[in-house]
Structure 1
Amino acid sequence: MPSSYPVARIRAAERQALAEGRRLMPLAGAAAAAFVARRIAPGAVVLALAGPGNNGGDALEAATRLRKLGLDLRVVLPAGAQGLPEDAARAFAGWIAAGGTVTAAPEPGLVPDLVIDGLFGIGLNRPLGPGWQALVDTVNGWHVPVLALDVPSGIDADTGALLGRPILARWTLSFIARARGLEVPAAAHAAGELHLDTLGVAMPGEVGEA
């Protein structure tokens, strides 16, 4: 069984699961929240970076769950909530309903204990724009643990190419299957420890978990 896959195959598995009526984003958010909860002390400050796509929705789902566990969650949503995909918009509504708030940038002077990188995931295929790059540079300058969801922002998930200066993660938690770009040395350096949660989804043509 391959250890990593092209993005197109991961997307196909995701589409199939969604067509079967499975809601994957809450599962991804729960997996990310559990990952963080095992590695952070009570009362810690966690900053979730939520991008404009479904990767941002995963981060919002995780933030909602961690907030309910009593952690101090901050959410940065640089592109705002307008235009979020349906599932991500639902995750955003859940975050707000839980009493959460969002800002467009990190609060001045804030240095969190841990960052969840949900900016772009496997969807990025162009260089980071100046604003996104500035945010990534700020996060890297904190030198705090980062959990990247799927792939660190600033990495092409298919080729492993650096699309700017990527977020430097301590851990990367992939969902469904690992993107093949994470095997490229430069991308692997940015990704840190690699972890996988299949969310119970089998890759096309395979039986059981990927």
Structure 2
Amino acid sequence: MPSYSVPQIRLAEQRALASGRALMPLAGAAAAAFVTARFPATASILALAGPGNNGGDALEAAALLLRQGFDVHVVLPSGPARLPADAARAWTGWLAAGGQARTHAALPPGPPPDLVIDGLFGIGLNRPLDASWQSLVDAVNAMHTPVLALDVPSGIDADSGAALGRPIRARWTLSFIATSRGLARPGPGRDAAGECHVDTLGVAMPAEPDPQS
């Protein structure tokens, strides 16, 4: 599959946003549809929402799934105050749907969920996971629960595919707009991603993918 650099994906995203397209609700809807195609509405879901727009995508999906009857819990380790504008609106939508969230980097008590949605960092991570984020990722991996990663598994550099710590091990990765080149190369990124899917959200990419991919 064609793959692209983070700057290429960011440029396409910015152009779409500048044209007035609201991408985050589309990404959330795509993630929710991916889940409903694979899990019954009786399933329990844990959505991990990070401090950026990847977290907003997870919150959009969580609100849609909650409204459809899924048992959905959200962990928002950085709290809502740090969210950018679009993600903050997704947070408001999650609350309006009747959702609540844990605002510290720990998993909720009780039995493991049927699915974890990884919306911690996406393509934005470019430095090693710090101790608290690494502890959360390790706890997710220790559950041996299926994980749907949004864009890239947390703990992976989207451009190089290098591991920035011990990454989340996903069963599926759903990339938005385009697949990042770090998932197309042999290495930790591809290994952590599991089965890769892409939803373009209707955003056009260059005819030629990144020449380095």
State the TM-score bracket (shorter-chain normalisation): over 0.9
Once structures 1 and 2 are overlaid, which stretch shifts more, 92-101 or 183-192?
Answer: 183-192
Q: Does 1:133 align with 2:134?
A: yes
Give, in angstroms, the shift of residue 204 of structure 1: 4.1
User: Which amino acid in structure 1 is aligned with residue 17 of structure 2?
Assistant: L
Moved over 4 A (4+): none
Q: Does 1:202 align with 2:204?
A: yes
Deviation string, structure 1 residues 26-64 (Cα, Å, up to 9, x no partner)? 000000000011111221110000000000000000000
> Take 2:207 and 2:196, find their aligned partners in 1: how far apart are those partners?
24
- Pairing 1:1-210 to 2, within 5 Å after superposition: 3-103=2-102, 104=104, 105-184=106-185, 185-204=187-206
Work out whether residues 12 and 204 of structure 1, in 8 Å CA contact, stay in contact via their aligned partners in 2: no
> Take 1:80 and 1:106, find their aligned partners in 2: how far apart are those partners?
14
Give, in angstroms, the shift of residue 186 of structure 1: 1.7
The 3-state SS of whatever aligns with 2:163 is coil
Work out whether residues 118 and 149 of structure 1, in 8 Å CA contact, stay in contact via their aligned partners in 2: yes
> Take 2:206 and 2:14, find their aligned partners in 1: how far apart are those partners?
11
Work out whether residues 156 and 188 of structure 2, in 8 Å CA contact, stay in contact via their aligned partners in 1: no
Unaligned residue ranges in structure 2 (runs of 5+): 209-213
Say how many residue pairs are matched.
205
User: Which amino acid in structure 2 is aligned with residue 99 of structure 1?
Assistant: G
User: Which amino acid in structure 2 is aligned with residue 19 of structure 1?
Assistant: A
Give, in angstroms, the shift of residue 99 of structure 1: 0.7
Once structures 1 and 2 are overlaid, which stretch shifts more, 62-71 or 105-114?
Answer: 105-114
The 3-state SS of whatever aligns with 1:47 is strand
Give, in angstroms, the shift of residue 83 of structure 1: 1.7
User: Which amino acid in structure 2 is aligned with residue 9 of structure 1?
Assistant: Q
The 3-state SS of whatever aligns with 1:94 is helix
TM-score of the aligned structures, taking structure 1 as reference length: 0.95
Give, in angstroms, the shift of residue 173 of structure 1: 0.2
> Take 2:4 and 2:197, find their aligned partners in 1: how far apart are those partners?
15
RMSD: 1.1
The 3-state SS of whatever aligns with 1:28 is helix
The 3-state SS of whatever aligns with 1:128 is coil
> Take 1:41 and 1:22, find their aligned partners in 2: how far apart are those partners?
31
Unaligned residue ranges in structure 1 (runs of 5+): none
The 3-state SS of whatever aligns with 1:82 is helix
